[in-house]
Structure 1
Amino acid sequence: MLPAVDWAQPWLAPYRASGEAVAQASDASVASALQAIKPPSAPDFVHQDSLPAGQAYEAHIFQTRTVPTRDNLHDFFNGLVWLAFPQTKRRLNELQAAEIARTGIGATRGPLRDALTLFDENGAVLDAPPALWDALVARDWHALFVTRRALWSEARLLVFGHALLEKLIAPRKAATAHVLLPDSACSNALDDAALARRLGPEWLAQKPFVPLPVLGVPGWCAANASAEYYDDPKVFRPRP
């Protein structure tokens, strides 16, 4: 029920083992296949029918410790991120549920829920030398990907957002992640516990992200071996 996934792609490395196991369970629903391999730290995965009509999705997960899951790529990747980063996903859910309890569900989410949703769906985390961070924040794409290209051997980019992972099934040059900026109190470590600790509500409400076209990362697209690849202002846009 799921299209073929090229698990050799570098952005899928953190999810490859679990993803292949779930994808091979061709006679099972996505929820039951995820449930069969989940560690104790992850919530239970249940069919989408378990979400009562009118109940907020994030509030339901928080209250029941179950994740309603549809048989599609979007929820498949959401489940894989839950398996790989259960503490971070739980932290995002806790913050979402607390905001829903405080303000209810309205026409707009508000700044914190906007930021939480943005990171959950389209976020990424970068561990990189300061020179790469300086170029990224300045959106100096030539410095980031051409003159300082060798520094990417010391960097690692984690695609966290499950909607972005879904988009990358058919990679397009314009696919862009919202990369979580460094903060003064925390490192850029990509392990689950460290990432969860970084997610403070006051900081997140400021939307501490910077855009990064992920197919510009060296090794993530064969075409970017040419410097001319980055001469595309529709994708590699200057800083406003």
Structure 2
Amino acid sequence: MRYVAPARGTVDPQVFGRMPLLAWREYADLLAGSQWPTLDVLNALWPAHARTRFVAQDHELLADGLHYEQRIAERGQIATRIGNWHDLLNALVWLRYPAIKQALNQRQVAEIARMGPKHRSRPQYAMTHFDEAGVIVVLRDPALLALWDAHDWHGLFWRRRQAWLDGAIQLELFGHAVLEHGLSPDKLLVGKALVFQSSRDVDAGDACAECAAAVAAGKLLCDPLELRPLPLSGLPGWHADNADEAFHLTTVCYQPRRAGREYPPAHAQP
């Protein structure tokens, strides 16, 4: 069933003080304010050198016949629906992670040229899944990855709960659809993760830069099966009930691994 976000004035204010939206608190005025931010307000947040701009998605814009991705690549115009949570959160992701967004756009345009506008390739599906639900995870301990590989959610989120609290694992939520789902307090959130393994202090910022470069070079997001499910509601602070062990034994967002499903190794971060 398609998710329908709550109307702006009906959103529970507490969601902005809880993950995942808490991590976007520098945009609190845009998210929790009584009025929708205008495109001028959003565009004022771009660096001075940026060529991309948010433009109203209206009939006049769509009459150019360009694909959404082509319009960004050719004109720097990001079609944005005014008064729409999904598009507002997409705009904030563009502002925070422009290098990853640009890399995805370049690859999408190349795939459109290769496949045509009516067909989609495996890389296109992978990139779309990541754009909507992507998470970048960095960890040091291979044992954590083994628990994840096995879908041992109780082990990953309960027995090793401290790893999520002390910084041994770090993550950056990239997918704007997951941010949108975070507007509903009881929604169980699941992301699609790319995993980086570090031999030094964990640094999610470095991993984001490496992710952008690898996506642009076609080394990542060539197939949807590269992405690992990550039940974000199991993370400390991401759901009101997950401080209780019973949550990690019974919650429906913890799915068993499908027979034969294998995951690629983590990407090495120097």
TM interval, shorter chain, is: 0.7 to 0.9
Counterpart code for 1:167? H
Q: Compared with structure 1, are the counterparts of its residues 51 and 172 closer, same or farther at alpha carbon in structure 2 (3 Å cutoff)?
A: farther
Q: Is the 8 A contact 1:173 1:213 kept in 2?
A: no
Counterpart code for 2:223? Q
Aligned: 1:51 with 2:65: no
TM-superposed CA distance for 1:27, in Å, is: 6.7
Deviations 1:35-67 (A, max 9, x none): 122223652111112633332101111111121
Q: Is the 8 A contact 1:9 1:220 kept in 2?
A: yes
Partner of 2:74: 63
Residues 174-185 of structure 1: pairs in structure 2 closer than 5 A: 174-182=188-196
Separation (CA, whole Å) in 2 of partners of 1:189 and 1:111: 29
Aligned: 1:38 with 2:46: yes
TM-superposed CA distance for 1:159, in Å, is: 1.4
2:105 partner SS: helix
Separation (CA, whole Å) in 2 of partners of 1:40 and 1:2: 30
Partner of 1:235: 253
Greater helix fraction, Structure 1 or Structure 2: 1
Partner of 2:232: 214
2:114 equivalent among 97, 102, 105: 102
Separation (CA, whole Å) in 2 of partners of 1:97 and 1:188: 33
Residues 96-175 of structure 1: pairs in structure 2 closer than 5 A: 96-106=108-118, 108-130=119-141, 131-152=143-164, 153-154=166-167, 155-175=169-189
* Structure 1, 4-13 or 95-104: larger mean CA deviation: 4-13
TM-superposed CA distance for 1:92, in Å, is: 0.6
1:12 equivalent among 21, 38, 42: 21
Q: Compared with structure 1, are the counterparts of its residues 51 and 100 closer, same or farther at alpha carbon in structure 2 (3 Å cutoff)?
A: farther
Q: Compared with structure 1, are the counterparts of its residues 51 and 232 closer, same or farther at alpha carbon in structure 2 (3 Å cutoff)?
A: farther
Counterpart code for 1:134? A
Q: Compared with structure 1, are the counterparts of its residues 223 and 204 closer, same or farther at alpha carbon in structure 2 (3 Å cutoff)?
A: same
**Which sections of structure 1, spanning at least 5 residues, go unmatched?**
none
Q: Compared with structure 1, are the counterparts of its residues 65 and 34 closer, same or farther at alpha carbon in structure 2 (3 Å cutoff)?
A: same
Aligned residues: 236
* Structure 1, 150-159 or 89-98: larger mean CA deviation: 150-159
* Structure 1, 79-88 or 43-52: larger mean CA deviation: 43-52
1:181 partner SS: strand
* TM superposition score normalised by structure 1: 0.87
Q: Compared with structure 1, are the counterparts of its residues 179 and 171 closer, same or farther at alpha carbon in structure 2 (3 Å cutoff)?
A: farther
2:221 equivalent among 189, 204, 215: 204
Q: Is the 8 A contact 1:126 1:188 kept in 2?
A: no
Q: Is the 8 A contact 2:135 2:172 kept in 1?
A: yes
Q: Percent identity?
A: 35
Q: Compared with structure 1, are the counterparts of its residues 136 and 221 closer, same or farther at alpha carbon in structure 2 (3 Å cutoff)?
A: same
Separation (CA, whole Å) in 1 of partners of 2:117 and 2:61: 16
Q: Compared with structure 1, are the counterparts of its residues 28 and 124 closer, same or farther at alpha carbon in structure 2 (3 Å cutoff)?
A: closer
Partner of 2:241: 223
**Which sections of structure 2, spanning at least 5 residues, go unmatched?**
1-6, 259-270
Q: Compared with structure 1, are the counterparts of its residues 220 and 129 closer, same or farther at alpha carbon in structure 2 (3 Å cutoff)?
A: farther
TM-superposed CA distance for 1:238, in Å, is: 1.1
Deviations 1:155-190 (A, max 9, x none): 222211011110111044532100113389xx9843
Separation (CA, whole Å) in 2 of partners of 1:51 and 1:232: 48
Aligned: 1:85 with 2:97: yes
